[in-house]
Chains A and B, each alone.
Chain A
Amino acid sequence: MSDYVVSLLVRIGVEAFVALSAYLLLVIGRISFGQQAFFVIGGYAAGISTALYGAPLPIGIIVGALAAGLAAALFAGAMARAGGIYFAAGSLARGELARVALLSFHHQVPVGADLTGPAGADGFRGIRALFTSGMSVTAYMVAIWGLLALTFLAIALLLRSRWGEAIRMVGEDETAAAAVGVRVGRVAGLTMVGAGALAGMGGGLFAHYATYLEPGHADVMLGVHSLAYAFIGGLGTPLGPIIGVAFDIGLLESFRFLAGYRMIIFGGLVMALLVLRPRGLLDEVTVHRVTRRLAGRRA
């Protein structure tokens, strides 16, 4: 596999985590423009734990996910009951807050001969745990996709469980969900924490591949794209957002001659889909029909 293909697959894998994060929020009926905040928080936390304090790579990734989950919990504490435009605006502000906060975040400690750690606008260099561990980039890419597959499976199972029922009810109608006895605040809050942790995991995985992070990685376009991925792929299955990422990065990025038109095609596609298939390519109705047909064939 060429380095280029590996790098493409790493990027798709990493962004799929952020897309799944935005997808989970869409399932509970919340539009977030700010999942990139948890992506960078996870990335910084993972990088700090491995590069500054010598944690092994897997521990670093877990620390990143936990830190992002914790940050999401703080946000959820304030925003769990906010809906619609208020939640969307709050999430947008959160993304920018994270970016601006990182611009002034300095935490450097001597590692070997150099100072390492986040240095404000200069970013956070030297996150080298992947390369000192001796793991090849290809193996790392496979590990990312393995984790992604596990995450996908976990979300799919979750959505089929009684908890998943509650999550879907909250997404469809919060008052009705409360009326049948769903603890709406708790369900929404925990889903936000889980979504934050997922974006954080993506951030940690990305940080160790890139070896470098900067506040610019919390650019609002990451959040907007993640949201669009879920809308392109479809809201009926967690496979939707992954397909959305693969389409954008895989197809549009790999056709280099399209480079200048990429955002035009992407934006146009989102618009066309919102008109033709407002709930994405794999929407609930399609998914329902396909699962029924598959079940019918088995029977």
Chain B
Amino acid sequence: MLEVRDVVTSYGMIQALKGVSLAAREGEVTCILGPNGAGKTTLLYTIAGILRPRSGSITFEGRELAGTPAPDVVGRGISLVPENRLVFPQMSVHENLLAGAYVRLGRDRARVESDLEAMFARFPLLKQRAGQAAGTLSGGEQQMLAVARALMARPRLLMMDEPSLGLAPMIVEQIFQIVETLNREGITILLVEQNARMALSVAHRAYLLEQGRIAFHGTPSEVSANEAISRAYLGIKGG
């Protein structure tokens, strides 16, 4: 569904992605693991059109995506749940959700309204908080809102950037349950995580990104079977 080939992305002189290739298959959860500064967020921003790749190609559903501006990427069915959630703090929960449907708000008002109702049914907590400023929600609630906001664009591919960041273990469980539910409903998911154990438990395929390059890829069991990787990322002591 999504194919990234030899993508190079730079910040000025610094190359953050030094030729990354990966694929996310339709209907699967693909996770990208890696330490801080490996380029995970840069990769998602590049796919989302927030950053432009220096070179390489990105195809989505067979069509070229690299260099497409962010609004058109959203329009083509890819949504990003950004790192640190990034809800609009002064806007209400309701306004945040409508913001998620920004690209189709003008032409699709009726569908947006019904999607909004569906979102409130899925996340009753957000309905209770509908009029509240998003900045006053707890971390877990904000993450839920960020996911719901991304879903308001009706994505076929949902990219999530460290959804577990800074959340209590119980909340992390909830978030990953949401990931699984969404995937079962047919949404393809590209998940960036530092919580490798959780990510591998829901993923079909995993990539390891280190210093701007893919260092390893395989199924979750292949990742766990690799001693060096499991020692570094799963905290399992080698024997």
Contacts and interface: CB of A to CB of B under 8 A. Distances in A.
Contacts of A183: 69-71
B80 A179 contact: yes
Contact of B102 (A172, A181, A285): A181
B50 A180 contact: no
Nearest to B105: A162
A178 B70 contact: yes
Interface string A157-191: 00000100110110011011111111110000000
Question: A175, A176, A177, A179: which has the most chain B beta carbons within 10 Å?
Answer: A179
B166 interface: no
Contact of B99 (A165, A175, A284): A165
Nearest to A235: B90
Given A169-B88, A179-B80, A180-B79, 6 more contacts: A176-B86, A176-B88, A180-B149, A180-B153, A181-B73, A183-B70
Interface residues of B, number: 31
Interface string B48-81: 1110000000000000000001110111000111
A210 to B, nearest CB: 39
B74 A172 contact: no
Interface in B74-114: 74-75, 79-82, 86-91, 95, 98-100, 102-103, 105-106
Contact of A173 (B74, B80, B88): B88
A177 B95 CA distance: 13
A264 B73 CA distance: 52
B74 A180 contact: yes
Contacts of B99: 165, 169, 177, 180
Contacts of B102: 162, 165-166, 169, 180-182
Contact of B91 (A162, A166, A168): A168
Interface residues of A, number: 19
Contacts of A182: 70-71, 102
6 contacts: A165-B99, A165-B105, A169-B88, A178-B48, A180-B99, A180-B150
A181 B86 contact: no
B153 A181 contact: yes
A181 B71 contact: yes
A169 B99 CA distance: 8
B129 to A, nearest CB: 15
Nearest to B92: A288
A187 to B, nearest CB: 11
Question: B79, B99, B106, B133: which has the most chain A beta carbons within 10 Å?
Answer: B99
B88 A179 contact: no
Contacts of A179: 48, 50, 70, 74, 79-82, 86, 150
Question: A175, A177, A184: which has the most chain B beta carbons within 10 Å?
Answer: A175
A284 B90 contact: yes
A50 B15 CA distance: 54
Contacts of A184: 70
Interface string B137-172: 000000000000110010000000000000000000
Contact of A180 (B69, B90, B103, B106): B103
A97 B87 CA distance: 38
B61 to A, nearest CB: 18
B156 to A, nearest CB: 15
Contacts of A285: 133
A100 B35 CA distance: 50
Given A162-B106, A165-B102, A169-B99, A178 B88 contact: no
Contacts of B74: 179-181
Contacts of B106: 162
A230 to B, nearest CB: 15
Nearest to B101: A180
B149 to A, nearest CB: 7
Contacts of B105: 162, 165
Nearest to B134: A172
